[in-house]
Amino acid sequence: MRCLALSALTLIVSCSGGATPTQLNFTRPELQPAQAPSQVPESEVLFAWGDGDMDTSSWSIVADSASLGELGKQQALIIDRSKHLARLKIPVSFEYEQRLAVEIEGQGGPMGKPIRANLLQGDRIITSAFGNLRATKHKDIGMVLFPQRASDAEAVDSISITLPVSSRAFSLTRVMVSTKPTGLSLDQKLFGGFELVKISGDARRSTALVEGDVFTTRVDNLGGADSLRFSFGQTKFLEQVGNRAHVEVKVRSQDGVETPFTFPLPDATEEESEDDPRPRRWVGASIPLNGFPVGPLEVSFALSSPHGGAICLLEQPRHGAPSELPQTVLLVTSDTHRSDHLGFLMEEGELKTDAIDKLASEGMAFLDAMSSINNTTPSHVALMTGLSPRDTGLLANARRLSDAAPTLAEAFRDLGYATLASVSATPVKYELCNLGQGFDRYGIPDIGVQDADVTVGRMLDWLEEYEGQPVFAWVHVFDAHGPYEPPAELAKLYTEGQRPDGPKAGEPSVMAPWDSNLTDADHIEGLYKGEITYLDGYLGRLFDLPRMDQGIIALTADHGEVLRRGPGRQYDHWGLSINTLAVPLILKAPGIAAGEQRRDPVRQVDIGRTLLDLSGYPNEPFPGRNLVESVIDVDQPRFAIEANGLSAGVITKKWMLVLTMREVPEGEENLGHPLHSVRLFNVEEDKHCVEDVWEQNPKMTKALRKLLLDWLDASPGNQWIASDVVDAETIERELANLGYLSMEDSGESTWFDRSCTCTWCEKFAE
């Protein structure tokens, strides 16, 4: 079944009209609190069970069976609900007058249907609410949130918890009831500061607007179609039933005339249900300034409600007048997209990529482009910083980029662009990788993966909202990543339709990592092609936007994929080879000769520098070289590091050498090689890196090994790795569901011990 597809390319566009940037008329007015902003309120625990106190003698338990047992080394209440739902009634004593949460921890979910909890006074239900269990590495954790009361307090003498029917017993280890004051779920930084905050996968750079607080700013009214735009929103943890809150904006001119504007928050008065249909969304607002005098204006933002205590999120405002040809920069990354899987490079009918082919015909295609690493997060970090993973130090998908690292989004933001990102998969969610720095908006899947239709659709909506304004946008699609599951009509384009029972006669058997019964290479690779055709159709919608007509476009991928031939695991991107490192790269911009194909060796990490130059900002600090203006010598070596620091490689026109730097993880020994061993491939004759020829070429092997070690030793040691990992267990689970290895980088201060005297190092001793 397909709801969304899987893949990752990189595209960028800027309507700069050539090398001279147009005057930008877009600003982000900085909001200042009129007084010290409100602080995050504290939570109070009203009831707790578990953590050693496992007495349930006062509880009323209705279940198929229930008894105390053990979950690992911890005691638990084992609840059988295989035939009937289970209901726990737990005596408590507190007053319900503010937002409460019932937190449940155990194992045996997630259950599909939500948990229901009631607050009771005797047999009377005061109020009901629903919550879902969220699976982490070790436990299933759920929260049932009760809204703020809008009337007098009531005494609660018991709570009931209903668990739906499931074939799995539920091992309950903890129940806690606590107050959840409005705003408790927000980071302290949001009280007086700005951070990305998401509502239903749509994160925006926002601050917490608390009733009683006032934020002010000043803007220069340009006249004409000048306007002030912003958005505001609430999450489930900020809503208050019956508050009917609204944002109040006041615009004051120099002559002292003050004009008020009122914007209501989404209605939160309806009762919660199992499906909980209430929208969690941002609401856009715009204040035209054509009725105000040209010149400075003072603007204030506040929040008001009939009952007090309201809170919402306020996106940082943007100010300006639309221009006829706004500068636009669009970045699209397509995960796991091989360099040779583009329609214009293949035989007619072999692969349909109409949008990409059109882009290549209008721009410049680089036919020998290499990524710097073979996994998603580190490759995107390299792309966004212009630095090799050797220099960022970030090699694993579960590591975060430091806030101190300068990024491409920050460069365009500081030049006056609105910065937007819409991504499709966990490895590039901003909470995981911290690539959100510099972005005003960042769209992510709620969990796991979403297809190109959702990711591109969100960006199309945003770009319409930013019509006439300068934009730098990044779109990441994940469709070409395994498992390959294109829509049936696209799968039929490249397969015989029905799934074969096994490999064709005379063909070697292969195996898809996600399905051991899928063993026909032609069928598997037909599905891969179907995914690429799928994502191409949605990228075409971006390419065809009128604002892209004069744009700069760069199309690339984070890494490639091993298909039926090559080292490592088939239909995966394990190891360093041409299969896993060669990526598409197409540039389109005013002044670039249409249809030109370049065969000089280029690096994916140079895209950022190229985009800034093509946008007219050659003096904007950013690493790398301009790929359009510099033709690179065919013998120029390129370097790469394997995911998690397992190996490093150097690629020249004829050769590729790979040096093993770490032992492979337990259970993956069949994919590894002896520590410090080397492999050499003649990539002119063996593009899939199948035959190791180092023994036939010992002098070349020794020379390339030294070249690689010298490059490793030359690292400037930026090490842009953040020390924090957000919700590590959940991240690890999401990555595992996508087939990623759970493993961190080496963390070593040096890449390779050149004084080593092991058998392999002795072979190449100087």
Shared-domain flag, residues 509 and 575: yes
Q: Residues in the chain with pLDDT < 50?
A: 1-19, 137, 241, 268-279, 742-748
Structural domain boundaries enclosing 302: 29-38+185-195+204-320
Q: Quote the tokens at residue 588.
A: 């389109």
Domain-embedded: residue 278 = yes
| Spatial contact of 370 and 583, defined as CB atoms under 8 Å apart | yes
pTM of the predicted structure, to 2 decimals: 0.83
What does the alpha-carbon distance between residue 437 and residue 400 come to, in Å, rounded to a whole number?
11
At 411 the three-state DSSP class reads helix
Q: Quote the tokens at residue 365.
A: 């295609």
Shared-domain flag, residues 634 and 710: yes
Residue 400, pLDDT score: 86
CA-nearest of 447, 449, 446, 444 to 420 is 444
Shared-domain flag, residues 421 and 552: yes
Could you identify the residue written with the tokens 């036939």?
Answer: 696
Domain-embedded: residue 252 = yes
Domain-embedded: residue 69 = yes
Residues comprising the chain, all counted: 766
Q: Domain boundary residue among 298, 320, 342? A: 320
Sheet of 602-603, strands arranged across: 582-583, 369-370, 602-603
Helices (H), 331-436: 354-362, 376-385, 389-392, 408-414, 430-433
Residue 5, pLDDT score: 33
65 strand-pairing partners:
80
Which helix (H) or strand (E) segment holds residue 534: the answer is helix 521-543
Residue 311, domain CATH: 2.60.120
Residue 614, pLDDT score: 92
Q: Quote the tokens at residue 117.
A: 């909890």
Residue 135, pLDDT score: 63
Helices (H), 168-300: none
What does the alpha-carbon distance between residue 536 and residue 33 come to, in Å, rounded to a whole number?
46
Domain-embedded: residue 127 = yes
Q: Quote the tokens at residue 36.
A: 């010290």
522: burial class by Cβ within 10 Å (0-12, 13-18, 19+)? Answer: middle
Which helix (H) or strand (E) segment holds residue 465: the answer is helix 452-465
Residue 605, domain CATH: 3.40.720.10
Shared-domain flag, residues 701 and 623: yes
Shared-domain flag, residues 603 and 682: yes
At 684 the three-state DSSP class reads coil
Residue 51, domain CATH: 2.60.120.260
Residue 723, pLDDT score: 64
Shared-domain flag, residues 474 and 497: yes
Shared-domain flag, residues 232 and 272: yes
Shared-domain flag, residues 412 and 549: yes
The C-alpha torsion from 404 through 409 and 411 to 414, rounded to 10°, is -100
Domain-embedded: residue 121 = yes
Q: Quote the tokens at residue 716.
A: 């400037």
Residue 302, pLDDT score: 95
Strands 585-588 and 364-366: antiparallel
Domain-embedded: residue 754 = no
| Spatial contact of 566 and 688, defined as CB atoms under 8 Å apart | yes
Shared-domain flag, residues 357 and 485: yes
- Supply φ then ψ for residue 283, to 5 degrees: -115, 120
Shared-domain flag, residues 330 and 230: no
Residue 223, pLDDT score: 83
Total domains present in the chain? 3
Residue 730, pLDDT score: 52
Domain-embedded: residue 720 = yes
At 622 the three-state DSSP class reads coil
Domain-embedded: residue 405 = yes
